[in-house]
């Protein structure tokens, strides 16, 4: 668990860690979280591990958290305890989008595609992005098409929605 996760758990930020694993404040959220973790841990160990799913967790005194549960392979706490799933928590109230690293790991985006995706999530128009990064509109259209394919989206609005639901840089929490 990283420091951000420890802080989130310490401030009763909607999640708790216990013997039963990671739990949410509300029973329905906990049940769905357990289901997503079970799906992630059961995922076959292939080269292309897909995220098991996303979940919005309600919190009493704060805006909801967005969780991304993803299978992982090749990580071990010790010889007896391999890590099979990671939960990333993002707090959308912080207003910070995903990092290049997050987009590369989750979707296989190139650095140029990451830049375009992040600028789209920040609300810039394709014409403005082409001007900002110094590429032609046709090049930008090609990059956007590639981004859509890699993220499983087909329109700019779908892509932006997906990106805004990803864990944010200010409060990435891995457990």
Q: For 54, what's the count of Cα atoms within 13 Å in the CB-facing half-sphere? A: 13
Instruction: Give per-residue pLDDT as tens, 136-153.
Output: 999 999 999 999 999 999
Rounded to an integer, what distance in angstroms lies between the CA atom of residue 171 and that of residue 41?
A: 24
Q: Kindly report the number of other CB atoms within 10 A of residue 153's CB atom.
A: 18
Instruction: Give per-residue pLDDT as tens, 6-46.
Output: 877 887 768 888 888 888 988 999 999 999 888 888 877 65
Strand pairing category for 21-24 and 53-57: unpaired
Give me the pLDDT at residue 133, please. Answer: 92
Q: Is the pLDDT of residue 108 over 90?
A: yes
Torsion of CA 102, 166, 153, 133, to 10 degrees: -60
Rounded to an integer, what distance in angstroms lies between the CA atom of residue 130 and that of residue 120?
A: 11
C-alpha dist (Å) from residue 127 to 76, 96, 132, 153: 46, 23, 9, 20
**Domain residue ranges of the chain, discontinuous segments joined by +:** 3-94, 100-164
Give 100-164's CATH code, choosing from 1.20.1250.20, 1.10.10.10, 3.30.479.30, 1.10.287.3510: 1.10.10.10
Give me the pLDDT at residue 67, please. Answer: 84
Whether the predicted model's global pTM rises above the 0.75 cut: no
Give me the pLDDT at residue 70, please. Answer: 83
Query: What confidence tier does 110 reach under pLDDT thresholds 50, 70, 90?
Result: very high
Instruction: Give per-residue pLDDT as tens, 65-104.
Output: 888 888 887 777 777 777 888 888 876 665 566 788 889 8
Give me the pLDDT at residue 172, please. Answer: 34
Give me the pLDDT at residue 105, please. Answer: 87
């Amino acid at each position: 668990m990283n420091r951000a996760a420890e802080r989130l758990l310490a401030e009763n930020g909607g999640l708790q860690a216990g013997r039963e694993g990671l739990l949410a404040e509300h029973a329905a959220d906990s049940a769905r979280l357990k289901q997503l973790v079970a799906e992630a841990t059961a995922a076959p160990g292939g080269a292309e591990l897909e995220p098991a799913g996303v979940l919005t967790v309600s919190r009493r005194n704060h805006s909801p958290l967005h969780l991304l549960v993803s299978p992982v392979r090749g990580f071990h706490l010790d010889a007896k305890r391999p890590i099979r799933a990671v939960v990333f928590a993002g707090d959308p109230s912080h207003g910070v989008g995903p990092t290049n690293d997050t987009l590369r790991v989750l979707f296989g985006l190139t650095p140029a595609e990451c830049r375009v995706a992040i600028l789209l999530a920040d609300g810039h128009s394709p014409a403005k992005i082409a001007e900002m990064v110094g590429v032609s509109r046709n090049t930008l259209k090609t990059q956007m098409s590639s981004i859509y394919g890699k993220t499983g989206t087909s329109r700019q609005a779908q892509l932006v929605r997906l990106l805004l639901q990803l864990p944010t840089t200010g409060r990435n929490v891995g457990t």
